[in-house]
Copies of this chain bind each other. A is one copy, B any other.
Amino acid sequence: MRTSLCDRLGIELPIVGFTPSEHVAAAISRAGGLGVLGCVRFNDAAELDAVLSWMDENTGGKPYGVDIVMPAKIPAEGTSIDLAKHIPQGHRDFVERTLRDLAVPPLPDDTDERAGVLGWLHSVARSHVEVALKHPIRLIANALGSPPVDVIEQCHAKGVPVAALAGKAEHAVRHVDNGVDIVVAQGYEAGGHTGEIASMVLLPEVVDAVGDRVPVLAAGGIGSGRQVAAALALGASGVWMGSFWLATEEYLQTMGESEAMQRALVAAGSSDTVRTRIYTGKPARLLKTRWTEAWAAPDAPEPLPMPLQNLLVSHAHNRIHHAADPSVVSMPVGQIVGRMDRVRPVADVISELVSGYEETLSRLDKTR
């Protein structure tokens, strides 16, 4: 399982793993892939800096990358207090009523609560880039398409390639025109922000549209060696996996008290996800739970635009996380959740991808 991407990024396997957990990211890099740490959870640049220093010491000298969330167009900006003025009271009342209906208790008084995820804000994402470029990162990926051109130039000046997610071929071409070095083609089946075109159709379209200009990674629906082989057959130079790492042992090392979430993921089938705007204001695939169902009810309000929706629900997310009820989880995950049937070490996941890939190629040999 070796492609041109391996030489490009200095990795052994064309497996790029996106995760908010530094323990997972480091384990992916140590196992021969490229661990990509999601920065959106860091409101404080100093905190990100400390975690990247930890990465520098724990990847065994292997490459790693970071993922930021930066729209090319600058959306509403300001502190969470400024922005909060734009949230209608009816929406706040719905959230409060829903949490009560779902028996999600208030947080204990001594809980140190975060003030919403400010990583969605442009200024905060820019601080992530600046901090990350002080570390020996090998990739900056942007979850919302091309970052602004000056950010791309800043990365290139440090020799760091930039990857951008695309759900349509025309978006991919625009990213490359802006200077993006790697396109992540994210299919409908993927977790988190996702478009409507499934990977089987999207991948060859994106590959043909960008031609030889940049490599394409396949995102969405990857959790076995068969799926890696399918992605490479469709023309991808590697895979981008996000959901699958949520059910790893290393995830708990960073994200303590996530056992209820992991139980919910392990129990879920591939039909148990929903694509909805309730997480961030843009369509994103989440685990289907009593929380997403409440937002799908006829009396539920329309989700607010980004970044207001995430501010609206961030306190609810803290309460939901603390309640630890597997039926009321709020978590982005792809349709591959149906294959996440136990919690494993990262290295086991990767060695199974490699052996499954080799078996698949041997099976395909027999069709000639």
Contact = CB atoms under 8 A, between A and B. Distances in A.
Interface of A: 1-3, 168-169, 187-189, 196-202, 204-205, 220-222, 224, 226-227, 229-235, 270-271, 334-336, 338-339, 358, 360-361, 363-365, 367-368
B198 A335 contact: yes
A220 B197 CA distance: 12
B196 A198 contact: no
B226 A204 contact: yes
A361 to B, nearest CB: 6
A1 B233 CA distance: 14
8 contacts: A2-B368, A3-B367, A200-B221, A201-B221, A201-B336, A226-B233, A227-B234, A233-B364
A233 B358 CA distance: 11
A364 B367 contact: no
A201 B232 CA distance: 15
So how many copies of this chain end up in the complex?
2
A200 B187 contact: yes
Contacts of A188: 188-189, 198
Contacts of A226: 204, 233-235
Contacts of A202: 270
Contacts of A2: 367-368
A77 to B, nearest CB: 30
A202 to B, nearest CB: 7
A205 B270 contact: yes
B189 A197 contact: yes
Contact of A199 (B200, B224, B338, B360): B200
The 7 closest A-B CB pairs, nearest first, are: A200-B221, A189-B198, A198-B198, A230-B230, A229-B233, A201-B335, A230-B233
A304 to B, nearest CB: 20
Contact of A368 (B197, B221, B339, B361): B361
